[in-house]
């Protein structure tokens, strides 16, 4: 007997609500490893149950098919397909290759059991049952689509404090020459008196270096963004070792980011960007 009420299962509803909360709030607010894993764990319950609801004849094998698709989705094999989709469609698909996400597969037996259980839900009104299932199914479809779409983010304007220090196995002069070899300027200034992003306990009257117009590239070496300037300090704690501390990055002169959640999120994003675009090339 076909059971088409599994979409109203309490576990499914909780996972669906968690998926929406995570993708539309937690990821933008905290943007950490946990928020990334939450989508995988709850998504692997929501997706097969939703498919089994739409296509009841798949209920015996949809969990296995979901596992196979998930494993393939997390590999570089589908990268050309994603790139083709993103070139053709106005909506963009995003995917992170992280093999630790395979741990989420342990929840698939839960989804399989919910799909194939014989338990039925009883409603006083058949219309209420029908509309409830339609509503949850529509929300499920939206959540499944949204979790693979990059969130619409307004291009930030202003200065973002980074405050991260790295060690380069080169002298200070060699480090400066390496930055210049990447095609960037290295200008020296006596103090940061005009900065508003340095921590209060630090003096603004410190010497710093500034590099302008750092171009950000995607994985296909296409320019996607430009950092107006980055301020940093350089000093040699010992021979052939240079400490570089990235103080802040400025995205545009006309802007002031006020919301601390946004600043926290952007700090993580641009910290990773600077590591990938500059620091890794210096090491």
Measured in whole angstroms, the distance separating CA 111 from the mean position of its chain's CA atoms is 26
Hey, which CATH number is domain 159-282, 3.30.1040, 3.20.19, 3.30.530, 3.30.420?
A: 3.30.530
Question: What are the boundaries of each domain within the chain?
Answer: 6-146, 159-282
Residue pLDDT, tens place only, 74-110:
888 888 887 787 778 766 677 777 888 999 999 999 9
Average pLDDT value for the chain: 81
* The pLDDT of residue 8: 84
pLDDT at 26 over 70: yes
Q: CA torsion angle for 71, 73, 78, 84 (degrees, to 10)?
A: 170
What is the rounded distance in angstroms from the CA atom of residue 97 to the CA atom of residue 40?
A: 12
Q: Which of 115-119, 252-256, 259-263 has the highest mean pLDDT?
A: 115-119
Regarding predicted confidence, which is higher, 266 or 144? 266
Give the global pTM: 0.55
- Per DSSP, 155 falls in state P
* The pLDDT of residue 153: 47
**β-strands 241-250, 208-217 pairing:** unpaired
């Amino acid at each position: 007997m076909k059971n088409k009420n599994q979409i109203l299962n309490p576990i499914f509803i909780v996972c669906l609500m968690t998926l929406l909360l995570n993708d539309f709030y937690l990821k933008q607010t905290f943007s950490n490893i946990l928020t990334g894993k939450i989508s995988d764990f709850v998504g692997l319950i929501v997706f097969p149950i939703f498919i089994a609801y739409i296509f009841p004849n798949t209920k015996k094998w949809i969990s296995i098919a979901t596992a196979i698709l998930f494993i393939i989705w997390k590999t570089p094999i589908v990268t050309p397909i994603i790139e083709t989709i993103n070139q053709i469609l106005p909506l963009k698909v995003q995917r992170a290759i992280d093999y630790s996400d395979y741990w989420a597969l342990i929840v698939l037996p839960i989804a399989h059991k919910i799909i194939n259980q014989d338990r039925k839900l009883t409603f006083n009104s058949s219309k209420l049952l029908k509309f409830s299932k339609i509503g949850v199914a529509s929300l499920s479809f939206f959540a499944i689509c949204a979790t693979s779409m990059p969130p619409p983010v307004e291009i930030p304007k202003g200065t973002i404090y980074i405050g991260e220090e790295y060690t380069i196995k080169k002298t200070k002069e060699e480090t400066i020459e390496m930055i210049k070899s990447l095609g960037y300027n290295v200008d020296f200034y006596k103090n940061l008196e005009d900065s508003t992003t340095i921590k209060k306990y630090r003096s603004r009257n410190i010497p710093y270096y500034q590099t302008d117009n750092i171009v950000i590239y995607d994985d296909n070496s296409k320019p996607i963004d430009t950092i107006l300037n980055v301020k940093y300090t350089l000093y040699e704690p010992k021979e052939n070792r240079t400490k570089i501390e990235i103080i802040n990055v400025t995205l545009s002169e006309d802007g002031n980011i006020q919301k601390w959640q946004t600043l926290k999120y952007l700090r993580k994003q641009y910290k990773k960007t600077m590591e990938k675009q500059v620091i890794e090339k210096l090491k």
